[in-house]
Amino acid sequence: MASRGTIIGNGLTWVAAWSLRIALIAVGLVLVGYLIGALWVVLWPVVLAVLLATILRPPAALLIRWRFPPALAAALVLLVGLGAVSGLFVAIAPSIAGQTQQITSGVIAALGQIQQWVSGPPLNLGEGQIGDIVAQVTQQLQQSATQIAGSVLTGVSTLASGLVAVVLALVLTFFFVKDGPRFLPWLTSITGRSAGGHIAEVLRRMWQVLGGFIRVQALVSLIDAVFIGVGLVLLGIPLALPLAVLTFIGGFIPIVGAVVAGALAVLIALVTQGFTTALAVVVLVIAVQQVEGNVLQPILQGQSLKLHGAVVLLAVTAGGSLYGIAGAFLAVPVAAVVAVLMRYLGEQIDTRDRRLVGTDADPATTPAAATNGAAPDPDGTSVADGADGAGGAAVAGGADGTGSVDGAAPAGGGTADPARDGR
């Protein structure tokens, strides 16, 4: 019987071993994160191209089935998609330009109201104090002019690199849509049949999850945009169409995008229409979000992603804090494909575990069966270790006189039971 010290020592050894493994995994994750950050300029267009390809590949595949050349089908669906997006922005541009003056006037009036509010109780700030505050803010801005100019230049550089990334993503999207089905066979030929089969299956499942996520999220975002847009029009809120489009785009960043778009709509309503209308917009946004969260997402998105809401929120928060807007946009798809990988690994572990349990439970392959509990056949001879008796056929190890396991004839000259072997 093991002593208490031995048991505690074994427990500490187990804890130390798992602590070392967890530490090595953490180091590996840090290295992967550093590598992603270093290669983000390349990875971002690739990931964006994959997401776009999940949308454009189905119509391109339909055109290919209609005898269109793959290159022509890919170019056609890509041009139609670009035309649709460009037409949408061209359609909302006049609305933004026509209502900018109204928004500006509303902002000026709101600033005047704020000034009157801070001048009265409980703050009781006089005009001189307000002027001092404005002067201090102006001086601080002047002192930070160099930093602001540098930030503007950095923003211009970021915008230029973003345009390059978008162009590269569009080119990659064309190739992914055109040659998509060729990648898995090529990958299988490179990695080998055994590993390639697993990789191809995982990638196939990831592709299905990504496609389902994009299509379902587009449907959910469209429903949100329609309801919120109609409500804003009925309430007479300026920029109702641009706000509806922003709601649609923000819907691809679950939870966070809807909150930001709704807050902007409330702010514009408060500036232009007053507190009562802004409160009505708050009720509208909350009602639409409740319908989305309690009806649409559980029915539609829950079937495609199978991710808990807390996981989605944590993923968006982590992605946004690490990689900004792009990280927030990609957080949920990345979490979904990681979940697919974990589920596949779990399936493989369960399959191997069942095989091991089945092997251990087979009396014919258990060593104890050869010496203990080996049932004698009707002729009085023991049936074990694949050795048949004097008048019986072997039934152990899957090797009998006919090469069958379930259909092996019982010792003593009996016949196989058809109900037992399924024949």
Q: What is the pLDDT of residues 138-196, one digit of tens each?
A: 566 555 555 545 554 554 555 566 778 888 889 999 999 998 778 878 878 888 777 87
* pLDDT for 316 beyond 70: yes
- Mean per-residue pLDDT for 63-77? 92
Exposure string of 43-75, with b = 16+ CB inside 10 Å and e = fewer, is ebbebbbbbbbbbbbebbbebbeeebebeebbb
SS3 2: coil
* pLDDT for 378 beyond 70: no
Structure confidence at residue 377 as a pLDDT band (50, 70, 90): very low
Helices first, then strands: H and E counts in the chain: 13, 0
What pLDDT does residue 391 have? 40
HSE on the CB side for 279, CA within 13 Å? Answer: 3
* pLDDT for 383 beyond 60: no
What pLDDT does residue 1 have? 63
What pLDDT does residue 375 have? 41
* pLDDT for 18 beyond 90: yes
Please give the residue that has the higher pLDDT: either 307 or 264: 264
What pLDDT does residue 16 have? 94
Tokens (6 digits) for 186: 């090529």
- Dist CA 26 CA 175 (whole Å): 35
Q: Lowest mean pLDDT: which of 281-290, 343-352, 361-370? A: 361-370
What pLDDT does residue 3 have? 81
Give the residue among 288, 295, 307 at the shortest CA–CA distance from 248.
288
Q: 410 vs 200, 365, 391, 394, CA distance in Å?
A: 45, 18, 10, 9
* Ordered alpha helix ranges (H), 66-192: 70-119, 127-143, 145-191
What pLDDT does residue 62 have? 92
State what percent of residues in the chain have pLDDT above 90.
14
Residue 299's Cα: distance from chain center in Å? Answer: 17
Q: Lowest mean pLDDT: which of 119-133, 273-287, 307-321? A: 119-133
Q: 248 vs 227, 245, 251, 402, CA distance in Å?
A: 11, 5, 5, 67
E strands, 234-355, in order: none
- Mean per-residue pLDDT for 10-25? 94
Tokens (6 digits) for 156: 């211009």
Give the residue among 403, 378, 398, 381 at the shortest CA–CA distance from 390.
381
SS3 377: coil
- Mean per-residue pLDDT for 127-137? 60
Angle between helices 240-250 and 256-272 (to 10 degrees): 160
Q: Which residues pair with residue 376 across a beta bridge?
A: 382
